[in-house]
Amino acid sequence: MTIIPDLHPRYKSLMTRDKLVAGVEAGITSQQGLIAHGRGEAFDYLIGEQTLKSARRATEVAAAMLLAAKKPVLSVNGNVAALVAKEMVELSELLNAPLEVNIFYRTEKRAKRIKALLEKQGANKVLGDLRNAVIPGIEHSRAKVDRDGLYSADVVLAPLEDGDRCEALVNMGKKVITIDLNPLSRTSKQASVSIVDDIERALQNLILAVKEDKKAKNDLAALSESYDNNENLKAVIKEIVSRLKKEDLR
Ligand code: ATP
Give the nearest ligand 1 atom to 185 CA: 4
For the CA of 40, the nearest atom of ligand 1: 20
| Shortest-distance atom of ligand 1 to CA 42 | 20
pLDDT value, residue 13: 87
Q: Above 70 in pLDDT, residue 62?
A: yes
Instruction: Tell me which residue of 31, 156, 10 sits closest to 95, measured CA to CA.
Output: 156
CA 242 to chain CA mean position, Å: 26
Please tell me the predicted confidence (pLDDT) of residue 1.
Answer: 61
Q: Inform me whether the pLDDT recorded for 31 exceeds 70.
A: yes
Question: Rounded CA gap, 155 and 7, in Å?
Answer: 41
Position 212, amino acid: E
* 134 closest CA partner among 117, 149, 151, 120: 151
pLDDT at 99: 98
- For residue 250, how far is the Cα from the chain centroid? 35
Share of the chain above pLDDT 70, in %: 97
User: Probe ligand 1: pick from 187, 203, 204, max atoms within 8 Å of CB?
Assistant: 187
> Which has the minimum average pLDDT: 79-83, 157-161, 169-173, 219-223?
219-223
pLDDT tens per residue across span 69-97: 999 999 999 999 999 999 999 999 999 99
Residue 2: is its pLDDT beyond 80? no
* pLDDT at residue 6, rounded to an integer: 74
CA distance 138 to 154: 19
Query: Is residue 30 very low, low, confident or very high in pLDDT (cuts 50, 70, 90)?
Result: very high
Torsion angle, alpha carbons of 82, 86, 89, 91, to 10: -110
**Ligand 1 lining (C-beta closer than 6 Å):** 36-37, 39-40, 43, 160, 162-163, 179-182, 185-187, 198-199
pLDDT surpasses 60 at 250: no
Distance between Cα 35 and ligand 1 center (Å):
9
pLDDT for residue 249: 59
Q: Tell me what pLDDT residue 247 has.
A: 74
Q: Whose CA is nearest to atom 10 of ligand 1?
A: 36
Phi and psi of 169, rounded to 5°? -70, -40
How far, in Å, is the centroid of ligand 1 from the Cα of 91?
21
CA torsion through residues 104, 108, 110, 115, sign:
positive
CATH of 53-241, one of 3.40.50.970, 3.40.50.2300, 3.40.50.12640, 3.90.870.10: 3.40.50.12640
Ligand 1 center from residue 49 Cα (angstroms): 16
CA of 40 to the centre of ligand 1 (A): 6
pLDDT per residue as tens digits for the range 47-58 = 999 999 999 999
Give residue 139's pLDDT.
83
Question: Which of 47, 87, 182, 194 gets mutated to test ligand 1 (max ligand atoms within 8 A of its CB)?
Answer: 182
Provide the pLDDT for residue 10.
77
Does 11 score more than 90 pLDDT?
no
Length of the chain: 250
Residue 106 has pLDDT above 90, yes or no: no
What is the CA(242)–ligand 1 centre distance, in A? Answer: 23
Q: What is the whole-number distance in angstroms between the Cα of residue 179 and the centre of ligand 1?
A: 9
For residue 151, pLDDT over 80 is answered with: yes
Q: Could you report the per-residue pLDDT of 195-248, keeping only the tens digit for each? A: 999 999 999 999 999 999 888 877 777 878 889 999 999 999 999 999 999 876
Taking 90 as the threshold, does the pLDDT of residue 42 lie above it? yes
Adjacent-strand bridge partners of 42: none
- The CB density around residue 197, as the number of other CB atoms within 10 Å, is 27
d(CA 150, CA 131): 10
Instruction: Measure 31 CA to ligand 1 centroid, in angstroms.
Output: 14
